[in-house]
Amino acid sequence: MTVEHSIIGKSYPKIDAPEKSTGRAEYTADLVFTGMLFGKMLLSPLPHARVLHIDTSRAERLAGVQAVITGRDVSSVLYGVSPARYDENVLALDKVRYVGDETAAVVAVDEETAVEAISLIKVDYQPLEAVFDPFQAMKEGAPQIHERAKNNINAEVHQEFGELEKAFRESDYVRQDRFVTQRAAHAPMEPHAVVACFDSSGKLTVWSSTQVPHYVHYQLSRVLGLPMGMIRVIKPYLGGGFGGKAETTCLEFCSAILSQKTGRPVQMIYDRKEMFLHGRGRHRQFIELKTGVKKDGQLKGLQVNVVMEGGAYTSFGIATIYYAGAMLSSPYRLPTMKFDGYLVYTNQPTCGAQRGHGTPQTRFAFESQLDMIAEELGIDPLEIRLLNAVGPNEMTINELKITSCEFSQCLKKVAEISDWKKKKGKLPPGRGIGLAGAWYLCGAAYPIYRSEMPHSNAMIKLGEDGTSATLYVGAADIGQGSDTVLAQIAAEELGLAYEDIRVLSADTELTPLDLGAYASRQTFMSGNAVRQAAADVKRQLLQLAAQKLEANVDDLLSRESKIFVKGAPDRFLPFAEVAEEAFFMKGPVVGKGSYKPPKLGGAFKGGAVGTSPAYSFVAQVAEVSVDVRTGQITVDRIYNVHDSGTVINPRAFHGQAHGSVHMGLGEAIYEEVVIENGVVVNPTLAEYRIPTANDMPEIQSEAVASYDPAGPFGAKEVGEGSILPVVGAIANAVYNACGVRIKKLPMTPEQVFMALKAK
Amino acid sequence: MQHLVNVKVNGQSHTLVVNANMTLLDMLRKNLGLTGTKKGCELGDCGSCTVIIDGKTVNSCLVLAVEASGKEILTIEGLAEGNELHPLQKAFIDYGAIQCGYCTPGMILSAKALLDRNSSPSEEEIKTAIGGNLCRCTGYIYIIEAIREVAGKQKE
Amino acid sequence: MILPKFSYFEPKQIGEVCSLLEEYGEEARVLAGGTDLLVKMKQGLLNPKCLVSLKKLAELNFIRFDERTGLALGAMASLNSIQESPLVRENYYALAEAVESMAAVQIRNIGTLGGNLGNASPAADTAPVLIAYGAQVKLVGPKGERRVALEDFFIGPGQTVLNKGEIIAEVVLPPAGISTGGAYRRFGLRRSSALAVVGAAAVITLKSGVCQSVRIALGAVAPVPLRVPAAEEVLAGKAIEDEAIVEAAKKAREAARPITDVRSSDEYRRELTEVLVTRALSHALKRAKERVN
């Protein structure tokens, strides 16, 4: 579908970029309030221990200390992400479960005093036996980390779709492989920060570096026992999230409690090491895949077993384990599938949601195995993918409803721009090329807690003189550019210039509810709400303009700040004139919109996970060089083709692809949170090595012509889909380059070298 | 132990009394309110706190405030001339080189220090110049493009 | 993150530095660039009561070259000033190469040569290459000056022969012959801001196509930067062929005594040693030949 747009499809500069370029953009750690105090946490040095006694008296006596709190002083309401697994205390009550578990908090006149006070708190621990390996943790007699979870099994998933054994029997070739992925970290440049302040009326305001103001709002209300109307959560400028800021943390609770105790604003910030201990990064998964195919490469059945090391608390873990299996049902047509998954507690920092949530791991495994199958059958990796590629308007075996889908186009285009046919099998030794595909949701179809609420909402108010429109939207711009994209959507629908749109976002008091930035939902869901709000405003203006132009409302258009009669461009009124008159006649010109996904998903347990009103599709090619003497992999080029529906802002679109490649490359080769006996041994950005500018390949990012009927102006997601194929494409290219198949992440030079040596 | 620090920041002279254990980063942020200099890791690993001292980039988290005495410091706040943005700032905005923006001040200052010394850097030289500035959002692609653009214009 | 409290001194005379260091003894630390020291203090690994800054000692910040006496580098010369120096690049290219491989621009702008050596990390990149160039360090202390060959300067991780009150003042490299070529090859787990997993330096001087002298040194494979005479012996006095380089690299591998840590296993470090020594020797030889021509 081609529609002429005046705003959509243009690379407007990010709406907040000027303020960010001058250093004037204030992030949460930059906020200063009169009388503001600084808070700090005491963290457990032991992986598993009973807390017998905490002596805070010396800390309390230190000059400058304003308050000290322990688990006994705070609400004992448990919190977390999934209501079925609220398992975190604000501060440890009886037990600590990992090195880094929060046991006490202090607030003082400055950071230095707070740090000193922390060192003066004495905790008597009774050490307990700890367990770090998920397979050990599941054994009879292993130390039990949570009372509720026998054998430390936090959640298990057993799903079967179709008759798998029969499918294997009917297959010409069945192969089984085991893959192991690493624990990764989001490593945003901005560490988590919060300022909390109770005002004199008892209302709490929390400024938080959060991706999800609404969920923070909700959890603060639950845990602190305050009505939501007495709490306001504001997200200031935010320095990167990637899923790590998608849940409420100890910082929000403790700073609020400490503000209540002291009557002053309290700021709390994690340092970089605390960021690694707080964790919530990508789970380590132990993956077994068994796949059956016909001789021609047609997929018949897939059996997936995943054991996932969850760390000490659940966080997003239940969703994560379901996602690990659910998202393998496409982008290749699968007639049968069986999935068994286990989420296991260990005495290590908690894992959570990270860009691609639970799925990059199994995607890497599947794309690797698909290449092994193709090789065995003598089929080109591109051909086996095209043969099985899912198309539009299909239902996956686990009842995920695909609507718009240009996956085949993605594959063809990526083959074309990468010169796949000329390169595959024809590169010199040490150089290789690899392909992988993927898909991802455009927002989850269900909220994290059960509710009938609309997921995204927006309001627009026109400026009284009609020269601007202000968009009030709860969506969280975390750097991905949702404010920009939503302003473009509003401008296009209203017929105003992009520059005339003001955006006020992510403030639970001033903006209507939005579930926030996770599961790639802002463009699609918030975009739909914004477009509706803009249409509401426009309708009001067109009605007025129709009278004045003596035309039928349906014959009017609003474009480029003019309202005119279709086909008669000289019969027009300036948008501002109509808007001002509307205000004079009826007061504020406001519009509202809201978006709620349709009811989706199968009736089976976990049927909601993976449901989405639309899906994006990606195909990616990696070109690598391998130094066979050292095992060092150099990724030379990545070609990425993403079916993102209508592209609202091309530079923002490509920027998301580039960032996805960055994180995927890091996980492929460089990044791993290394834990020894429960202690993170590399909690720095020196030893947790995200790629530097020198490590990045050339990237060619492209879109395909695509339109999603349910997306705003046909748009779909881009923020997460492109990370999914990266690791598999690189692994396949490494195999092509030097003949070693790496099944354990990251693909360190040492690992590649040892594999080469063993060959 | 307290020390007197005389320092010129963004062209303006300041005399401050600081503790020996205060970093330049904290002095800029807390004493002078220049929060454009960001705190990302505090160990010199990320480059978010990059400032320019006497023409050279440093991680301000690894410089003591007292060591900065007698020096001229440029922070991101001192780059624009009034409301006229520096060409690097404009290019970063126009080329989509800014996502979350947290690395941006340090990144722009590293780029400035490069271009001040080398008006036509190669791609490799650009990458080396920003090799100590980590960015988690952009993959550096548009950052490098923006710097190249400014270098190209300077050359003309 | 907060630095622990300390007293801070910025003496303007070396004598003052030495007496402060003597007075405070173990409680004092010399602050050169600070890029290692302040990190360790922030991480709680060091907690000195007193920091003695060398930044006001202009006399320690220089780079001088004389064809007869060689290269002299002040301890406070910043890593980048060394790497950028035409004197260094022209005559001791491998040193520039080693510095370029280190950390990132911001760190190299404040990090100093004296600091890199005094810190005595087994993985320090400047140490192997300076050892290969036959460097000596000039130490200044309460009892005056002395010179020590750099290969004898280190005694263990973080430990050197520096006596109480003594500091590194200068690093001296002998003249680089017209037919001398050097190379440094290191392996890091990322292209910027990564410590060396293994570093290998080689300096070869040719005379009439024959290896007149060769020095090979390794980083990150022993408690101290390691010179490997056994590897040198394979090459000295011969016209160097590829087989000899391979043989020398094997000897270097045998001499390596690496550990396993978060960056690498000891076994992989041995493998890398062989590869990197091969590559360093090949490049050094090539450069020596190029200089002759």
CA distance C284 to C290: 10
3-state secondary structure string, chain B? CEEEEEEEECCEEEEEEEECCCEHHHHHHHHCCCCCCCCCCCCCCCCCCEEEECCEEEEHHHCEHHHHCCCEEECHHHCCECCECCHHHHHHHHCCCCCCCCCHHHHHHHHHHHHHHCCCCCHHHHHHHCCCCCCCCCCCHHHHHHHHHHHHHHHC
Tell me the residue type at A70: T
The pLDDT, as a whole number, for residue C292 is 65
Tell me the residue type at A246: A
Task: Indicate yes or no: CB of A694 within 8 angstroms of CB of C191.
Answer: yes
The pLDDT, as a whole number, for residue A1 is 43
Task: Indicate yes or no: CB of B139 within 8 angstroms of CB of A661.
Answer: yes
Tell me the residue type at A65: V
Q: Which of B58, B108, B128, B147 to mutate: most C Cβ within 10 Å?
A: B58
- Output the six-digit token pair for C111: 């990090």
Q: Which residues of B are less than 8 Å from A484 in CB distance?
A: none
Q: How far is CA A102 from CA A189, A206, A258, in A?
A: 23, 20, 15
The pLDDT, as a whole number, for residue C178 is 81
Judge whether A284 and A182 are in contact, CB under 8 Å: yes
Judge whether A575 and A549 are in contact, CB under 8 Å: no
CA distance A675 to A538: 56
Q: How far is CA A162 from CA A165, A337, A397, in A?
A: 9, 7, 8
> Average pLDDT for residues A115-128, to the nearest whole number?
98
Task: Indicate yes or no: CB of B64 within 8 angstroms of CB of C8.
Answer: yes
> Average pLDDT for residues B110-125, to the nearest whole number?
96
**β-pairing, B72-74 with B2-9?**
parallel
Phi-psi region of A282 (alpha: psi -120 to 50; beta: other; left: phi over 0): beta
Phi-psi region of A432 (alpha: psi -120 to 50; beta: other; left: phi over 0): beta
DSSP A332: B
Sequential DSSP letters for A631-699 = TEEEEEEEEEEEE-BS-S-HHHHHHHHHHHHHHHHIIIII----EETTEES--STTTS----GGGPPEE
Percent of chain A with pLDDT over 70: 100
Position A530 pLDDT exceeds 50: yes
Q: Is A499 on the interface with C (CB under 8 A)?
A: no
Phi, psi of A361 (to 5 degrees): -65, -55
Beta partners for A158? A340
The pLDDT, as a whole number, for residue C134 is 97
| Closest CA of chain B from C248, distance in Å | 33
| Closest CB from B102, B108, B133 relative to A21 | B108
Give the model confidence (pLDDT) of A548-568 as tens digits.
999 999 999 999 999 999 999
Task: Indicate yes or no: CB of B63 within 8 angstroms of CB of C110.
Answer: yes
Q: Is A109 on the interface with C (CB under 8 A)?
A: no
Give the model confidence (pLDDT) of A344-397 as tens digits.
999 999 999 999 999 999 999 999 999 999 999 999 999 999 999 999 999 999
Beta partners for A208? A194
Q: Is C176 exposed, middle or buried (0-12, 13-18, 19+ CB in 10 A)?
A: buried
CA distance A739 to A729: 14
Position A140 pLDDT exceeds 50: yes
Q: Which of A38, A676, A692 to mutate: most C Cβ within 10 Å?
A: A692
The pLDDT, as a whole number, for residue B1 is 77
Least Cα distance to A528 among A707, A710, A401 occurs for A710
Least Cα distance to A71 among A206, A251, A193, A254 occurs for A254
Look at the block and give the residue holding tokens 């500035």: B133
Task: Indicate yes or no: CB of A699 within 8 angstroms of CB of B139.
Answer: yes
Task: Indicate yes or no: CB of A652 within 8 angstroms of CB of B128.
Answer: no
CA distance B113 to B106: 11
| Closest CB from B21, B45, B67 relative to C3 | B21
The pLDDT, as a whole number, for residue C123 is 96
Judge whether C199 and C219 are in contact, CB under 8 Å: yes
The pLDDT, as a whole number, for residue A682 is 97
SS3 of C278, please? helix
Give the model confidence (pLDDT) of C171-185 as tens digits.
999 998 789 999 999
Q: Which residues of A are less than 8 Å from B37 in CB distance?
A: 23
The pLDDT, as a whole number, for residue A322 is 98
Sheet holding A153-161, edge to edge: A153-161, A337-345, A299-311, A284-293, A173-180
- Angle CA(A95)–CA(A97)–CA(A101) in degrees, nearest 5? 90
Give the confidence band of B124 by pLDDT, cuts at 50, 70, 90.
very high
Task: Indicate yes or no: CB of A750 within 8 angstroms of CB of C192.
Answer: no
Give the confidence band of B18 by pLDDT, cuts at 50, 70, 90.
very high
Position B44 pLDDT exceeds 80: yes
Q: Is A238 exposed, middle or buried (0-12, 13-18, 19+ CB in 10 A)?
A: buried
| Closest CA of chain B from C55, distance in Å | 8
Cα-to-chain-centroid distance, residue A616 = 15
- Output the six-digit token pair for A393: 């308007």
Phi, psi of C140 (to 5 degrees): -125, 135
Judge whether C253 and C277 are in contact, CB under 8 Å: yes
DSSP A192: P
Least Cα distance to B115 among B75, B143, B155, B70 occurs for B155
Judge whether C52 and C92 are in contact, CB under 8 Å: no
Inter-chain Cβ pairs, chain A and chain B, closer than 8 A:
171
CA distance C247 to A102: 56
**β-pairing, A102-108 with A37-43?**
antiparallel
Judge whether C153 and C187 are in contact, CB under 8 Å: no
ipTM: 0.98
Give the model confidence (pLDDT) of A285-318 as tens digits.
999 999 999 999 999 999 999 999 999 999 999 9
Q: How many CB atoms lie within 10 A of CB B56?
A: 18
Q: Which segments within A140-202 are labelled E, that is strand?
A: 153-161, 173-180, 193-198
Task: Cite the DSSP H helix spans in A502-629.
Answer: 527-549, 575-586
Look at the block and give the residue holding tokens 């300077």: B154
CA distance C83 to C99: 6
- Output the six-digit token pair for A315: 């966080």
User: Least CA distance to C191: which residue of chain B?
Assistant: B131
CA distance B127 to B143: 10
Give the confidence band of C293 by pLDDT, cuts at 50, 70, 90.
low
Provide Rg for chain A, Cα atoms: 27
Give the confidence band of A3 by pLDDT, cuts at 50, 70, 90.
low
pTM over 0.90: yes
Provide Rg for chain C, Cα atoms: 19
Q: Which residues of C are less than 8 Å from B63 in CB distance?
A: 34, 110
Percent of chain A with pLDDT over 90: 99
CA distance A270 to A256: 16
CA torsion sign, A498 to A499 to A504 to A506? positive
Position B155 pLDDT exceeds 80: no
Q: Which segments within A404-530 are labelled E, that is strand?
A: 431-441, 456-462, 469-473, 501-505
